[in-house]
């Protein structure tokens, strides 16, 4: 079940953060700030009363741009559509906020996340060499045209091929 994150979720989020991003986890202070920000929107995914995922969007009020800040699913719960559902929740919120373009950075050595983003319509628009430290891994910068996504979804619902 996906629901908005609350400050009470911070401990569970931190546990997932360290498990999923062992070399470059965000600090508790950073995530506390993210959860409290009016420009952010974080969701958690619960399974059997336990936190198995979370994701965050940054969409500054009044801006046409937004960023996917983070997304992760606990290892044991991956591969069953939960990551896609979390990403969908972020994109739906971005649309509600009137966002036109959504951006994100993903590690160049993370083909699973890249496949998820590509399948949702994100396109690679650049690379940031050695962005992830201390691992020395490039970032792939991706962009999604949210209006284009909505049009594609509407066409798919109507059974129109493109």
Ligand X SMILES: CC(C)(COP(=O)(O)OP(=O)(O)OC[C@H]1O[C@@H](n2cnc3c(N)ncnc32)[C@H](O)[C@@H]1OP(=O)(O)O)[C@@H](O)C(=O)NCCC(=O)NCCS
| Residues within the interface to ligand X (CB under 6 A) | 20, 71-73, 78-84, 106, 110, 112-113, 115-116, 119
CB of 13 to ligand X, least distance (A): 13
- Which residue number, 23 or 62, has a Cβ lying nearer to ligand X? 23
CB of 46 to ligand X, least distance (A): 14
The CB-nearest residue to ligand X is 83
Tokens 């590690």 found at: 107
CB of 62 to ligand X, least distance (A): 26
- Which residue number, 61 or 65, has a Cβ lying nearer to ligand X? 65
Provide φ and ψ at 126, rounded to 5°: 170, 180
CB of 105 to ligand X, least distance (A): 7
- Which residue number, 2 or 10, has a Cβ lying nearer to ligand X? 2
Are 75 and 19 a contacting pair, CB within 8 Å? yes
Q: At what angle do helices 82-96 and 146-157 cross, to 10 degrees?
A: 110
Compute the distance between CA of residue 72 and CA of residue 67 in angstroms, rounded to an integer.
Answer: 15
- Which residue number, 38 or 133, has a Cβ lying nearer to ligand X? 133
Which pair of structure tokens corresponds to residue 37? 């920000």
Which pair of structure tokens corresponds to residue 61? 């009020």
Compute the distance between CA of residue 58 and CA of residue 115 in angstroms, rounded to an integer.
Answer: 22
């Amino acid at each position: 079940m996906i629901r908005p994150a609350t400050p009470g979720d911070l401990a569970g989020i931190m546990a997932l953060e360290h498990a999923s991003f062992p070399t470059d986890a965000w600090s508790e202070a950073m995530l506390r700030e993210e959860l409290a920000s009016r420009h952010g929107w974080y969701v958690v995914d619960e399974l059997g009363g336990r936190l198995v995922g979370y994701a965050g969007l940054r969409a500054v009020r009044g801006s046409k741009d937004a960023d996917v800040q983070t997304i992760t699913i606990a290892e044991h719960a991956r591969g069953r559509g939960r990551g896609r559902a979390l990403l969908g929740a972020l994109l739906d919120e971005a649309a509600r906020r009137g966002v036109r373009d959504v951006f994100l950075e993903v590690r160049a050595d993370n083909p699973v996340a890249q496949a998820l983003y590509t399948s949702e319509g994100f396109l690679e628009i650049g690379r940031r060499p050695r962005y992830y430290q201390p691992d020395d891994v490039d970032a792939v910068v991706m962009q999604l045209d949210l209006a284009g996504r909505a049009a594609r979804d509407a066409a798919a619902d109507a059974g129109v091929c493109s």
